[in-house]
Structure 1
């Protein structure tokens, strides 16, 4: 199946498709109605009756990782922003594995994939090879990947990890989790896409098939996007 990035982005601007949005609002309506019923029972019902149970409303959890053949999984649980609503990404200055300071602003004019990860994160390990393939394909066209390690242990563990997977994109270290706090990272891996102006295009939590048809189409579209 061929994916149209423009329509996919428009369909997922709020992080959910129209169908999922309608389901979400129906569920919210049901919860509100249930709360009102319980409130009326407590305040106007028989006071000798058995007390009602407290209602627990849990936040919906992200869906599990789809199969590798499901290219649409790239867009699932991601939030994309229209150009008019994009904001500048927070800049961070962190040490890279080569010992040099590394900032996001040095990639101005490029499409940047910022990925938060750790060597102990199994989903990160599964995702990294596909990121390397994405990087190899689109680096000549202006894609940059910055992988921010949240490991707090031995730096050599990160070096060994990078060598084992033969990663060639920049790896920077955030042992004090300063960048993690700036980007409000709550789970790993977390990915942010920044456009050529350094503004956030979209973000999402969880591993993705970055070498899928959908990923290639999305990155190609964003690289060709006019300012």
Structure 2
């Protein structure tokens, strides 16, 4: 049987070009998964956060029903902000401690509403192994967030701040923090164990059970 493409050089060139385009598409797809922000290189470094994510899964519900346990934990140790005293800090400074990172602003009504619950959570569960790290992202200085926290009598949360909003930009590059509030549970390895987009009642029994489960996942078994 004759080969029609052998007698039609133009048709043969079209097929080769189509095949090349398909190969290029596959290459791009693979790079999208394994390159850039694919985060494949964190599989080993984020094992603790992965264990935490699996541990908290049964506790997702009620007041924390929108919490999303990480399936491929992201290394968030380079996220940066200012401490209460104005010094520079990154999540790497909290190595060895489980952190509930909350991003908020004074103009964000849901953020303002959930702040007392975060303060209570820090009061009741904060310590050597766990801390609520609330980072304000109001543009400019700290005058407005300081006044707000004073107004609602927050006593247990330190005012962390990022007036440049770089922390938001960095998270959006990873498909995180599409809006405020955003709250991320970060393991002692600096990796994401799970994320909540939107507000939650963080002083609720469901939230405390979720945090407790995460902490238990990293304790030595004996």
Same fold (TM over 0.5): yes
Say whether the 8 Å CA contact 2:55–2:214 is kept in structure 1.
no
- 1:140 deviates by 2.6
Aligned to 1:157: 144
Please tell me whether residue 9 in structure 1 is matched to residue 80 in structure 2.
no
Q: Which residue does 1:175 correspond to in 2? A: 163
Q: Which residue of 2 aligns with 1:108?
A: 95
Preserved CA contact (<8 Å) 2:181 2:197 = yes
Correspondence for 2:199 among 189, 202, 207: 207
Larger Rg: 2
Cα deviation digits, residues 4-49 of structure 1 (max 9, x gap): x97861596xxxxxxxxxxxxxxxxxxxxxxxxxxxxxxxxxxxxx
**SS in structure 1 at match of 2:126:** helix
Q: TM-score, normalised by structure 2?
A: 0.66
The answer on 1:194 being equivalent to 2:197 is no
Alignment gaps of 5+ in structure 2 = 1-52
**Structure 1 residues 72 and 102, CA, compared in 2 at 3 Å: closer, same or farther?**
same
Which runs of 4 or more aligned residues in structure 1 lie more than 3 Å from their structure 2 counterparts after TM superposition?
5-8
Could you tell me the TM-score, scaled by structure 1's length? Answer: 0.64
Choose from 69, 75, 82 the match for 1:80: 69
Q: Deviations over 1:171-202 (max 9, x none)?
A: 22212111001111221101100012111011
User: Are positions 1:119 and 2:109 aligned together?
Assistant: no
Q: Matches of 1:158 and 1:140 in 2, distance apart?
A: 24
Task: Give structure 1 stretches of 5+ with no counterpart.
Answer: 13-70
Q: Give the secondary-structure state (helix, strand or coil) at the position aligned to 2:127.
A: helix
Query: Aligned partners of 2:77, 2:218: CA distance in 1, in Å?
Result: 22
Q: Deviations over 1:149-173 (max 9, x none)?
A: 1101442111111222324223222
User: CA distance change for structure 1 residues 221 and 119 in 2, over 3 Å: closer, same or farther?
Assistant: same
> Conserved in 2, the CA contact under 8 Å of 1:141 and 1:223?
no
Q: Deviations over 1:51-76 (max 9, x none)?
A: xxxxxxxxxxxxxxxxxxxx613122
- 1:136-147 aligned at under 5 Å gives the runs 136-140=123-127, 142-147=129-134
Equivalent positions of 1:11-90 (< 5 A) are 72-76=62-66, 78-82=67-71, 85-90=72-77
Residue in 2 aligned with 1:217? 209
Cα gap change, 1:208 to 1:109, in 2 (>3 Å): same
Task: Spell out, residue by residue over 1:107-146, the C-alpha distance to the aligned partner (whole angstroms, 9 max, x if none).
Answer: 1111101111101111011100011111111113511111
